[in-house]
């Protein structure tokens, strides 16, 4: 009997010694960032002058766009994150080149995505270099964005009228992300009106976009004269009453950011409510299906971009809540980051035309960018890793 006990103890010891040691988050970040540097140098080498990488076409070719697409600032922003971590001067040169390319965007007044386009590029440039010349495009861009604010409605208009949907003043949950530019510029220029616009937009969105369970519609259409809600819809999701995954992540991120920038407790409560709801609905590996209510689950596409945005938001949100929730949010974000850094999602060097994470979903109803890398997925994935590094 004694010999049997000794034998079992030895076998247990051998098993524990032979089990692979889990990669630390520091090791994971180093591996991902080294991969990102090589991938983004490869991606850059394929670009013609003025072309900005967006995704891949259905045939596998590189899909590019111009500076006036809403995604145009992410390539510069991702390059800044890679430079920040690795110290690569080549990546800094690329980041500077593609940041400067964005300058004309500061005059854009026909859409709400100036925040994405400028804050990811010029915002990171300012943060990392301290060069105050980067402030002017951000301040001018904020003024341009402010022209879309309608005081009757209390929000900035996202899209132009869409007669095919009978929408006259459509506002999308994504627009929460562009409030960061208004908040920053309002403080920088001591212009309370910009801050008031952002606060009004966030408050009106809480009132009209959200369901009782903290899930959000994608689109709310308003009467621009009275501010009354005309329609609620979900253009890029499965159905109007479904929870489109990336939209949920935009909302979570947006209200976490608004609490940071304003200190208003109602935004923290909104972010916590969304986080708790989403965590309960995540699949085991932490990467959302493209729509939480798709009837095809589990035989459905995942959206790596929604997972990356959510992870980044949860890491920040974990710093504002009690210890029990903080642990839950960080554990969820870590699970998501480990999965995105696995071979299931992380592109091998020299593949995917240089993009970093696979299996993103752009817009299934429009049959666009399905199960493919997305430039904003890469951006928020690296942002999340950099935020984890600061914990």
pLDDT single digits (tens) 210-239: 999 999 999 999 999 999 999 999 999 999
Neighbours of 44 (CB within 10 A): 18
* Cα–Cα distance measured from residue 274 to residue 61, given in angstroms and rounded to the nearest whole number: 37
* pLDDT score recorded for residue 102: 98
pLDDT at 92 over 50: yes
Give dist(CA 128, CA 24) in Å, integer. 26
| pLDDT of 7 above 70 | no
Residue-wise pLDDT for 247-303, tens only, equals 999 999 999 999 999 999 999 999 999 999 999 999 999 999 999 999 999 999 999
Average pLDDT of span 326-342 = 98
* Rounded Cα distance, 365 and 235, in Å: 8
Distance of CA 99 to the CA centre of its chain: 19
What is residue 161's predicted lDDT score, i.e. its pLDDT? 96
- What residue ranges define each of the domains in the chain, with the CATH number in brackets? 37-389 (1.50.10.10)
At residue 20, the pLDDT reads 75
Q: What are phi and psi of 37, to 5 degrees?
A: -60, -45
Question: Is 307:243 a contact under the CB 8 Å cutoff?
Answer: no
Tokens coding 156: 């900035």
Which pLDDT belongs to residue 18? 56
Q: What's 288's DSSP letter?
A: P
pLDDT at 15: 46
Catalytic residues: 113, 174
What global pTM score does this model have? 0.95
Exposed e or buried b per residue across 117-139, where buried means at least 16 C-beta atoms within 10 angstroms of its C-beta: bbbbbbbbbbeeeeeeebbebbb
pLDDT above 70 (res 312): yes
- The average confidence (pLDDT) of the chain is 95
Is the pLDDT score of 2 beyond 90? no
Cross-sheet strand order for the sheet of 219-222: 170-172, 219-222, 229-233
H/E stretch holding 381: helix 375-389
Is residue 237 within 8 Å of residue 216, measured between CB atoms? no
Q: Which two tokens stand for residue 48?
A: 């013609």
Query: Which among 255, 140, 252 is positioned nearest to 201, based on CA atoms?
Result: 255
pLDDT tens per residue, range 182-201: 999 999 999 999 999 999 99
- Residue 221: per-residue pLDDT: 98
Percent of the chain with pLDDT over 90: 95
């Amino acid at each position: 009997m004694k010999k049997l006990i000794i034998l079992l103890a030895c076998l247990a010891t051998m098993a524990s010694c032979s089990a692979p040691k889990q990669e630390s988050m520091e090791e994971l970040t180093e591996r991902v960032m080294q991969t990102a540097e090589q991938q983004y140098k490869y991606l850059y080498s394929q670009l013609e002058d003025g072309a900005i990488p967006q995704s891949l076409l259905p045939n596998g070719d590189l899909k590019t766009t111009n500076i006036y697409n809403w995604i145009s600032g992410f390539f510069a922003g991702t390059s800044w994150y890679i430079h920040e971590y690795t110290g690569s001067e080549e990546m800094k040169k690329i980041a500077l080149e593609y940041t400067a390319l964005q300058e004309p965007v500061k005059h854009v007044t026909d859409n709400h995505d100036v925040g994405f386009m400028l804050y990811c590029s010029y915002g990171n440039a300012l943060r990392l270099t301290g060069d105050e010349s980067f402030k002017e495009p951000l301040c001018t861009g904020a003024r341009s964005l402010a022209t879309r604010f309608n005081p009757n409605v209390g929000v900035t208009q996202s899209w132009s009228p869409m007669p095919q949907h009978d929408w006259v003043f459509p506002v999308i949950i994504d627009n929460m992300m562009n409030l960061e530019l208004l908040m920053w510029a309002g403080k920088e220029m001591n212009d309370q009106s910009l801050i008031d616009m952002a606060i009004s937009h966030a408050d009106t969105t809480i009132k009209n976009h959200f369901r009782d369970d903290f899930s959000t519609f994608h689109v709310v259409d308003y009467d621009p004269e009275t501010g009354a809600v005309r329609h609620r819809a979900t253009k890029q999701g499965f159905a109007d009453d479904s929870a489109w995954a990336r939209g949920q992540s935009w909302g979570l991120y947006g209200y976490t950011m608004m609490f940071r920038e304003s200190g208003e407790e109602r935004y923290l409560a909104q972010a916590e409510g969304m986080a708790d709801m989403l965590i309960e609905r995540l699949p085991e590996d932490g990467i959302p299906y493209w729509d939480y209510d798709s009837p095809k689950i589990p035989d459905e596409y995942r959206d790596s971009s929604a997972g990356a945005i959510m992870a980044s938001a949860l890491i920040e949100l974990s710093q504002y809540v009690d210890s029990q929730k903080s642990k839950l949010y960080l554990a969820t974000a870590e699970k998501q980051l480990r999965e995105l850094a696995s071979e299931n999602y992380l592109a091998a060097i020299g593949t995917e035309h240089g993009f970093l994470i696979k299996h993103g979903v752009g817009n299934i109803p429009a049959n666009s960018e399905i199960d493919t890398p997305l430039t904003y997925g890469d951006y928020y994935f690296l942002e999340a890793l950099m935020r984890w590094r600061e914990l």
